[in-house]
């Protein structure tokens, strides 16, 4: 199959493909970062920092 030059590099890594353990790990990173940002910004507000 011809590789999609927009998304796939010469090693076969397709950046738009998202499945398996890699997907779960990406979701975990995103989730933790989201919670951290929300908690941080909300805490700053309650502490009157902005």
Partner 1 sequence: MPMTTTYDVERTSFLSALYSFREALPGLLAMLFIGIFSNNLAGVPNPFTLENLFHWLDGVIGPFNHQPFFQILNSNFVWNPILLGFIIGNVFGVPDSWKRGLSYIHLLMPLGIIMLGPHFIIDHAFKLGLWPIVICTGFMFLTATMTLFISRLFKLDDRHGSVIAGGLSTGDPHVGVILMPLIKAKGGQVVNGSICVIGFGLIAMFLLPWLASFVTLPQKYLGLSSVVGVGNGHQALFAAYTFGYEAGRYVLWFDVGRHVIMPAGFLYVFLVMFIRKLWNPTNPEIHATREVDKFPIWVGVFIFVWILAIFHVFKEPAHHAIFNMVKWDFSLAAAALGLSLSFKDIASAGVKGFWVTCTAGVLRIVLLLAALVVCFKLGLLEG
Residues that bind partner 1 (CB under 8 A): 5-10, 12-31, 33-35, 37-38, 41-42, 44-45, 50
36: exposed, middle or buried (Cβ count in 10 Å: 0-12, 13-18, 19+): exposed
How many C-beta neighbours within 10 Å does residue 8 have? 15
Report, in Å, the least distance between residue 40 CB and partner 1: 10
């Amino acid at each position: 199959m011809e590789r999609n030059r927009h998304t796939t590099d010469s090693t076969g890594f397709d950046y738009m493909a998202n499945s398996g353990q890699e997907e779960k790990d990406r979701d975990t990173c995103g989730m933790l970062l989201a919670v951290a940002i929300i908690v941080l910004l909300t805490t700053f507000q309650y502490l009157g920092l902005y």
